């Protein structure tokens, strides 16, 4: 049986080769969808279709392009529940979180609809008479993007809504963990009025289809690359784009710190730490990695945290009272289990009695689900972690956090900054000077004061530094710089050649000498 491999210029392309399945991680017996990995020729065809569609789409007035995105927002709103249910089924996010994932796409559309009437340039005074200077935002061209499966609706909207608004055409390689959700995203976008060839999709794994798509940068098929995923893969993409003098959008991993000071509201900090560490089973780039506690409150805070963790409800993400569900896929579960096996050292202390995979023989007291057929794991807390430990600066991408202690704010900031990552950060304190110093000296691209390390709003820039990204930002007006190039235009109506810096009519001063005394 042929399975969907690509969506190019409005056509469904199917194949019986390189078949892969999307499985419900809460019940692996449930096959959500069957797809075929697109090979390099199909990726090239998708880029060609995008290139062919670019002329007309880029010439379409920006407010008209924005109207399509407005339609897209309305269609998502009408299908919000169904789309969220699909997210929950395909990647295991609790339904409440899935609704938030979908809402982020709606918010992003609403924000950028108005930007369709605000793609401002400038009129600049010239140093010459009868000459005008202008700047314009121009679309980059063909935008190819590879996204992860942990936010299968929100993150693609961060990329494609502003990219399309600015007049670019797109080729998308969605995560192999969420192809069915991605197909639904595509169908709503096409129904909103996106013309054929403007938005194309190639399905497949990162190692096959993703790698093939990025290789096309060397062939001149792609003008801009976006990637959400691991730092390791981001480096390789950055190398390819760099040798083609392109600047990609790289939204990579994190080892995000949360500092808790002695004067903090500890109850609020506990809730912030729980959500940051274990929400979405820790499978967020902004998840809490290192919980850095002042030595005077460490024992008290640790005890409070352990008590709250013991009460967490884990299980079927369809249940309304579940804190977190399964791992997204078997790949992520195996990585999580390997991290516990290889990164936890003899001097570490596991504060959680049970760790690893939840099963009928190794049960969690607040578990409700099918442990034997689902990809469920225990929450894990590793204590006595030091800066020299590998677990300190390794992104673990699962429900696992480290506990560290500090004695001075200088030490806390050093521990927060020294992992090499710089995505998200948080501090809980009621001291204004402490908060001010932290937000000024932290190297992360995003900082929360008395809030979690996770969370984003459609009108605030999202992104990181160091191993977390190359400085590009998603969301808000700042992302427009990723999807447009500035064009400077000078228009001379004098009827003659005027040479800047040489034919200027600057006024010379007279030789006036002031008296030595007044």
- Packing angle between helix 62-78 and helix 80-91, nearest 10 degrees? 70
Q: Tokens 């001063």 identify what position?
A: 509
Residue 518 pLDDT exceeds 80: no
First to last CA, the chain: 99
**Do the strands 19-24 and 27-36 form a parallel or antiparallel pair, or are they unpaired?**
antiparallel
Mean pLDDT (the chain) is: 96
- 350 phi and psi, to 5 degrees? -85, 115
- 491 phi and psi, to 5 degrees? -125, 110
307 is a catalytic site residue = no
**pLDDT value, residue 510:** 86
User: From CA 129, how far away is CA 126, in angstroms rounded?
Assistant: 7
Tokens of 302: 């640790």
114-172 pLDDT, tens digit each: 999 999 999 999 999 999 999 999 999 999 999 999 999 999 999 999 999 999 999 99
Of the pLDDT bands very low, low, confident and very high (cuts 50, 70, 90), residue 367 is very high
Nearest to 148 by CA among 94, 85, 226, 221: 226
418-435 pLDDT, tens digit each: 999 999 999 999 999 999
Q: Which of 12, 251, 307, 457 is catalytic?
A: 251
Of the pLDDT bands very low, low, confident and very high (cuts 50, 70, 90), residue 512 is confident
Tokens of 264: 């903090």
Kindly report the CA angle at 238 between 237 and 241, in degrees rounded to 5?
Answer: 85
156-166: b (≥16 Cβ within 10 Å) or e: bbbbbbbbbbb
311-363 pLDDT, tens digit each: 999 999 999 899 999 999 999 999 999 999 999 999 999 999 999 999 989 99
Q: How many beta carbons lie within 10 A of that of residue 426, not counting itself?
A: 31
Average pLDDT of the residues in 31-59:
98
Which architecture, in CATH terms, is 256-458?
3-Layer(aba) Sandwich (3.40)
Tokens of 210: 């993703």
Nearest to 262 by CA among 434, 135, 403, 61: 434
Q: Tokens 């979690």 identify what position?
A: 452
293-312 pLDDT, tens digit each: 999 999 999 999 999 999 99
**pLDDT value, residue 355:** 95
Residue 1 pLDDT exceeds 80: no
**pLDDT value, residue 516:** 79
Q: Is 122 left (phi over 0), alpha (psi -120 to 50) or beta?
A: beta
CATH 1.20.120.1200 fits 3-252+471-486, yes or no: no
**pLDDT value, residue 517:** 76
**pLDDT value, residue 153:** 98
Q: Which of 97, 285, 395, 441 is catalytic?
A: 285
- Domain(s) labelled CATH 3.40.309.10 in the chain stretch across 256-458
Tokens of 113: 């609809």
User: From CA 407, how far away is CA 20, in angstroms rounded?
Assistant: 51
251 is a catalytic site residue = yes
Nearest to 195 by CA among 288, 65, 303: 65
For the CA atoms of 13, 16, 20, 24, the dihedral, rounded to the nearest 10 degrees, stands at 80
- Domain(s) labelled CATH 3.40.605.10 in the chain stretch across 3-252+471-486
User: From CA 79, how far away is CA 181, in angstroms rounded?
Assistant: 12
- 228 phi and psi, to 5 degrees? -120, 120
């Amino acid at each position: 049986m042929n399975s969907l491999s690509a969506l190019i210029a409005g056509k469904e392309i199917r194949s019986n080769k390189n078949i892969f399945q999307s499985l419900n991680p809460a019940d692996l017996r449930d096959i959500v969808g069957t797809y075929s990995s697109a090979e390099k020729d199909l990726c090239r065809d998708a880029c060609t279709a995008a290139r062919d569609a670019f002329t007309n789409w880029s010439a379409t007035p920006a407010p008209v392009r924005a109207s399509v995105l407005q339609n897209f927002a309305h269609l998502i709103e009408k299908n919000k529940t169904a789309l969220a249910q699909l997210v929950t089924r395909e990647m295991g996010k609790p339904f409440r979180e899935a609704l938030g994932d979908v809402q982020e796409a709606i918010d992003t559309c609403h924000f950028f609809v108005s930007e369709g009437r605000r793609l401002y340039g400038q009129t600049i005074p010239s140093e010459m008479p009868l000459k005008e200077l202008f700047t314009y935002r121009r679309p980059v061209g063909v935008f190819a993007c590879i996204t992860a499966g942990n936010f299968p609706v929100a993150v693609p909207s961060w990329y494609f809504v502003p990219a399309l608004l600015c007049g670019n055409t797109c080729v998308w390689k969605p995560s192999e963990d969420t192809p069915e959700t991605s197909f639904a995203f595509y169908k709503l976008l096409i129904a909103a009025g996106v013309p054929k060839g403007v938005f194309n999709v190639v399905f497949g794994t990162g190692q096959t289809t993703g790698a093939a798509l990025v290789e096309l940068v060397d062939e001149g098929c792609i003008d801009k690359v976006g990637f959400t995923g691991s730092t390791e893969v981001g480096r390789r993409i950055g190398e390819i784009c760099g040798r083609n003098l392109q600047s990609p959008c790289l939204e990579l991993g994190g080892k995000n710190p949360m500092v808790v000071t002695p004067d903090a509201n500890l109850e609020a900090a506990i809730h912030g730490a729980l959500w940051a560490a274990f929400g979405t089973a820790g499978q967020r780039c902004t998840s809490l990695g290192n919980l850095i506690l002042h030595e005077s409150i460490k024992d008290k805070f640790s005890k409070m945290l352990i008590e709250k963790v013991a009460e967490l409800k884990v299980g079927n993400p369809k249940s309304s009272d579940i804190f977190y569900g399964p791992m997204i896929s078997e790949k992520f579960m195996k990585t999580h289990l390997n991290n516990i096996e290889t990164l936890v050292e003899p001097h570490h202390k596991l504060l959680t009695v049970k760790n690893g995979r939840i099963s009928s023989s190794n049960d969690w007291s607040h578990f409700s689900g099918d442990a034997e057929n689902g990809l469920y794991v225990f929450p894990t807390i590793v204590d006595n972690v030091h800066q020299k430990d590998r677990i300190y600066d390794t992104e673990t991408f699962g429900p696992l956090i480290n506990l560290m202690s500090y004695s001075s704010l200088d030490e806390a900031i050093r521990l927060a900054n020294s992992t090499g990552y710089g995505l998200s950060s948080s501090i809980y304190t009621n001291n204004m000077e402490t908060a001010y110093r932290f937000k000024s000296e932290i190297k992360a691209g995003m900082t929360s004061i008395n809030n979690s390390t996770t969370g984003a709003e459609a009108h605030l820039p999202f992104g990181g530094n160091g191993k977390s990204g190359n400085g590009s930002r998603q969301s808000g007006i700042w992302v427009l710089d990723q999807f447009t190039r500035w064009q400077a235009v000078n228009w001379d109506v004098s009827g003659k050649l005027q040479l800047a810096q040489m034919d200027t009519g600057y006024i010379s001063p007279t030789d006036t000498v002031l008296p030595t005394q007044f």
